[in-house]
Amino acid sequence: MSERALRAPAFLVLTSLAGQPQHGYGVIEDVLRISDGTVRLHTGTLYALLDRLREAGLVEVDREEIVSSRLRRYYRLTGSGAARLASEAARMQRDAGVAASRLRQLRRAGAAGAL
Amino acid sequence: MTRSRGTRRTAHALLERRYRRLLGWYPADYRTANEDEILGVALARATPDQRRPGAGEAASLIVSGIRLRLCLLLRSLHGPGWRDAAAIFAILGAVLLAAIHAQSLVAQLVPGAFREAGPPPAAGIALTAGWSLVAAAAMLRWRWATAAGASLGAAGEAALLAARYASDPSFLVLSWWQLTLAVMTALAAVTLLAAGEGGNRPLSWRAITILAGTAAVLAGAPAIESAFSTVTTAHGVGSAVPNSLSGIQGLWADGLVAGLALTLLAAAERLSPAACRRLAVLSVPVAAAAAVTGWGLRGFLASSPRFAHPVLLAAAQWAALGVVPVLGFAAGMILLGRHERMLRLVAAGQYDAS
């Protein structure tokens, strides 16, 4: 997990937890907000993701609360989770920069061809 | 208003019950640790009058539960329990199959042997040699050779039965347990491959010697039976009549197989209880196949040869042959999981066995 590029849902979950420790429902809602409504995590998917991220040491349990006689577990980013998110964000930024620069070149070439 | 609140409460209870049922797809230990939390999130997402989980929610819980179970199973294959059990089962299965095929060859050579006709000699020799090589490869821990050889052997057993089925369906029924054993041996060999490197030598030299001796006795059983029978002549026709020792003749094969099982126990002295339990689970489909053919299809075996044209198996009989061993294996796996979970709880002091 540490070497491969993170998939969009995992990246968004880490991003969500970078803001503050959150419980499962909070993460789902936050991911929906961050992704502008495009990524709607199902409950099973969220917990499969959280399990994998916990196993990789990127996320850990922050605290547990009992709300309406039901357990609510809050998760937070670990130090290596923050580092991983930072490197992933930098990689995506770099890739996005390259894509933008190539698109600019393409537009310039298109404009020159039109002349 | 009150009625509406009551309806909502009923809907909520119904929804919760349905979500709990969906969480049954997850392993029990995981459920104990996380069910409450997951349920809380799933219910928080529901609309006030929702009675059923959405299709996407249900699918995600089912898929995640199954994936988690498979991950746990794959992880457990790397543990010593499955590795030891698979290694020993691969040896025992291959030795038993080699001995059974050798027995058919011996029966064809010994006049007056009390044995059913086996496969053609060429096929019998090939299968005896093949399974002996698989057993040797398994003893030497050549995992790839064991897996490839056992898979080929199982395919060979199936081809043999398929080729003879149309003319002699009883042979297929009588040999079904052998095919099941071959398939389970191949499965054990592949499990060994998935378990990766590691583990001790599967059997001690003493156990291997006992095993080889038992296999030799099993293979030579027709000659031994023949030696203990007398030939009487009635109306000019000679027929072999078993003497006092042959009271056990019908049980020879079963007795020797049981002897082989005892050898397994002797070999299992050094095995962990976890490996012994897995060995038993791997043996369940073979026992189930033998039970189906011995009891369930007893009538078919008695009546089929009486007709001039062989009577083939009906769809329900095929289903019984195919499904019962698989169900037996599934039941064994479930019981194993439950038993070991209980042992873990007992060890953790969370289960009162009384």
Judge: B64–A24 Cβ closer than 8 Å, yes or no: no
User: Picking from A92-101, A102-111, B156-165, B210-219, which range would have the lowest pLDDT averaged per residue?
Assistant: B210-219
pLDDT tops 50 at residue B242: no
At a CB cut-off of 8 Å and minimum separation 6, what does B346 contact? B353
Task: Name the phi and psi angles at A60, rounded to 5.
Answer: -145, 165
Residues of chain B in contact with residue A25, where contact means CB-CB under 8 angstroms, are 40-41, 44-45
- Nearest-Cα residue of chain B relative to residue A49: B64
B184's enclosing H/E stretch is helix B169-195
Residues of chain A in contact with residue B67, where contact means CB-CB under 8 angstroms, are 48
Task: Summarize the confidence of residues B217-234 as an average pLDDT.
Answer: 69
Task: Summarize the confidence of residues A86-111 as an average pLDDT.
Answer: 92
Q: pLDDT tens across B297-330, in order?
A: 777 777 776 776 777 788 888 888 899 999 999 9
| B44 in contact with chain A, both atoms CB, cutoff 8 A | yes
Token pair for A19: 């803001």
pLDDT tops 80 at residue B199: no
Judge: A25–B60 Cβ closer than 8 Å, yes or no: no
CA-to-CA dists, residue B351 to B26, B29, B332, angstroms: 21, 13, 22
Judge: B41–A23 Cβ closer than 8 Å, yes or no: yes
User: Picking from B57-66, B79-88, B91-100, which range would have the lowest pLDDT averaged per residue?
Assistant: B79-88
Token pair for B24: 């049954």
How close A13 gets to chain B, by Cα (Å)?
15
The pLDDT value given to residue B188: 93
The pLDDT value given to residue B211: 79
Q: Which long-range contacts (CB under 8 A, 24 or more apart) does B326-329 make?
A: B326/B285, B327/B288, B328/B284, B328/B285, B328/B287, B328/B288, B329/B281, B329/B284, B329/B285, B329/B288
Q: pLDDT tens across B107-158, in order?
A: 887 766 655 556 778 888 999 999 999 999 998 888 899 999 999 999 999 9
Q: pLDDT tens across B283-293, in order?
A: 999 989 988 88
Where are the domains positioned within chain A? 8-114
User: Picking from A57-61, B31-35, B52-56, B348-352, which range would have the lowest pLDDT averaged per residue?
Assistant: B348-352
Residue located via tokens 């030795």 = B95
Instruction: Assign domain A8-114 to a CATH class.
Output: mainly alpha
Cα(A90)–Cα(B33) distance, rounded to whole angstroms?
36
- Nearest-Cα residue of chain B relative to residue A42: B57
The pLDDT value given to residue B338: 83
Confidence of residue B245 (pLDDT cuts 50, 70, 90): very low
How close B198 gets to chain A, by Cα (Å)?
24
Judge: A43–B57 Cβ closer than 8 Å, yes or no: yes
Closest partner CB to B41 (pick from A24, A48, A51): A24
The pLDDT value given to residue A92: 92
In three-state form (DSSP H/G/I as H, E/B as E, the rest C), the secondary structure along B62-119 is HHHHHHHHHHHHHHHHCCHHHHHHHHHHHHHHHHHHHHHHHHHHHHHHCCCCCCCCCC
How close A3 gets to chain B, by Cα (Å)?
21
Confidence of residue B232 (pLDDT cuts 50, 70, 90): low
- Nearest-Cα residue of chain B relative to residue A45: B60
Residue located via tokens 């399990």 = A51
Measured in whole angstroms, the distance separating CA B312 from the mean position of its chain's CA atoms is: 25
**Total H helices, total E strands in chain A:** 4, 3
Judge: B44–A25 Cβ closer than 8 Å, yes or no: yes
Residues of chain B in contact with residue A49, where contact means CB-CB under 8 angstroms, are none
- Nearest-Cα residue of chain A relative to residue B59: A44
Task: Summarize the confidence of residues B234-238 as an average pLDDT.
Answer: 52
Task: Summarize the confidence of residues B51-55 as an average pLDDT.
Answer: 90
Amino acid at B205: W
Residue A60: which of A77, A84, A82, A85 has the closest Cα? Answer: A77
The pLDDT value given to residue B249: 44
Where are the domains positioned within chain B? 77-228+250-271
Residues of chain B in contact with residue A44, where contact means CB-CB under 8 angstroms, are 57, 59-65
| B59 in contact with chain A, both atoms CB, cutoff 8 A | yes
Confidence of residue B261 (pLDDT cuts 50, 70, 90): low
End-to-end alpha carbon distance in chain B: 49
Contact present, B52 and B10 (Cβ < 8 Å): no
Mean of all residue pLDDT scores within chain B: 80
Mean of all residue pLDDT scores within chain A: 91
As for the ipTM of the complex, it is 0.84
Contact present, A10 and A49 (Cβ < 8 Å): yes
User: Picking from A40-44, A51-55, B62-66, B303-307, which range would have the lowest pLDDT averaged per residue?
Assistant: B303-307
